[in-house]
Chains A and B, each alone.
Chain A
Amino acid sequence: MSSAPPSGSPVGDWSTDFDHTTEAWAQDAPGIWRDLRTACPVAHSDRFGGTWLPTRHADVAAIAHDTEHFTSRSVIVSDFRPEAPAPIGFAPPITSDPPFHEFARRLLLPAFSPKAIAPLEGPTREFCGSLLDDVLSGDRDVVDAATEYAQHIPVRVIAHLLGVPESDGDRFRTFIHRILERPGQVATVDPEDLLTTYLLRAVEAHRVEPRDDLISYLLDLEIDGVPLSDEHVIGTIALLLIAGIDTTWSAIGASIWHLAEHPEDHRRLREEPALMPFAVEEFLRLYAPVTMARIVSADTEIGGCPASEGDWVLLSFPAANRDPEAFDDPETFVVDRQRNRHAAFGLGIHRCLGSNLARLELRVAIEEWVRRVPAFELADPAAVRWSTGQVRGPRSLPVRLTGEGAA
């Protein structure tokens, strides 16, 4: 293991030495998955102390449903194994295993059911509208759809939901970028301390002055008559921030990137808004931003390959979503795809808790963009920068507004 190249160093052979934190991965991850699925569907790398990468839908689904051999103790691959004890983990319930997982998850499910989330559509549309007012107000014909639009939407929605100042959004982004995009550097930045400090203050403020928001909802929860510990509450909020911001931003940005590259799909959505529910799921399938991780908790097999206790597994839902065994014409965006069992929100008991919120944000963000931007294109394809790590999306997306009468 000590002979493995350091994480982040250049990769020669993706089937034996892959590294999802490299620029080469960021630039062409879908091509890498496609090549691996054909030549070596369960890739392995000695990096990060030993990591597997299954690229077939069937293998990804099997792992996601197997909590006996795979623990969620850490869901972000890094050079360090997590110290947080199972079954709770750092950020319950995503880092929890059965049986605790179900307790922690059921506490949160009611706050994220589709009916509980639906009232956020109005505020989300307002946020998107006011961002577009700014983006479209100037004389500029080139704007960055990632940093001026997509990036700000989930931050504002989640701040609204939690009940913290929307102006804290930039701090959220700093916390989560360190954790998600440069996992190899986590130890030198020590971001958990900063995030924990911030959240402790927010929780204290809500204890003093309870409000009608998610933090107060969490503080009111009990397990067997006992309020949740501060660690549990803070871990849960950390999870909502980490899980809800980069991910949704990435999905919105990638969807806008697709529309810039495919004006025929942009036109079709302008002319047939009723297709949007299908288009949203197709964006989620083809541009699923999230790859989760598991740690092998008992020796097992992954698609016939022997995996040992302690090995990392990258659970690539994005790769699964492009498997021709599971989807017809998987590399093509079909705006009204009728059969779409995509795994963008994961599979099994850890199905993304915030999926209804993410879906709402993505739909409204794209609806508003499509409605108000009549035509646009990539200003400079070479300037589009895709993120490294386990959350994939464009971090820089300069587009040229080409239509008349943008409003």
Chain B
Amino acid sequence: MRIVFDRSACVGHNRCYLLAPALFDVDDEGYAVPLLDGDVPPDLEAAARLAADNCPEFAITIEE
């Protein structure tokens, strides 16, 4: 599983940061910053799905 993050679509809802803080940080302006480059470890797959499923801007997609 990989996370694809579209920075141009992010407007700073911060849902990913709340639901998956191991996978997303936020910058000083509150925009998401992906923490992972590469495959999502199995124990974080559920969190990755939550981040994608709760992004109001569809800025996060999951590739399996």
Contact = CB atoms under 8 A, between A and B. Distances in A.
Interface in B1-39: 11-15, 17-19, 26-30
A195 B58 CA distance: 38
Contact of A109 (B30, B55, B56): B30
A341 B56 contact: yes
B56 A113 contact: no
A343 B30 contact: no
B29 A110 contact: yes
Q: What size tier do the contact residues of chain A reach?
A: 20 to 34
Interface of A is mostly: helix
Contacts of A340: 53-54
A317 B48 CA distance: 26
A113 to B, nearest CB: 4
Nearest to B55: A341
Q: Which of B30, B53, B54 has the most CB of A within 10 A?
A: B30
Contact of A347 (B28, B50, B53, B57): B57
Nearest to A277: B18
Contacts of A349: 11
A112 B30 contact: yes
A356 B30 contact: yes
A15 B12 CA distance: 34
Q: Which of A113, A340, A349, A355 has the most CB of B within 10 A?
A: A113
B11 to A, nearest CB: 4
Given A351-B13, A355-B13, A339 B53 contact: yes
A257 interface: no
A113 B29 contact: yes
A343 B14 contact: no
A114 interface: yes
B56 to A, nearest CB: 5
A56 interface: no
A345 B54 CA distance: 13
Contacts of A347: 11, 56-57
**Among all A-B residue pairs, the 6 with the closest Cβ atoms:** A113-B30, A109-B29, A339-B53, A351-B11, A341-B56, A110-B28
12 contacts: A113-B26, A113-B29, A114-B17, A277-B18, A341-B53, A341-B54, A341-B56, A342-B56, A347-B11, A347-B57, A351-B13, A355-B14
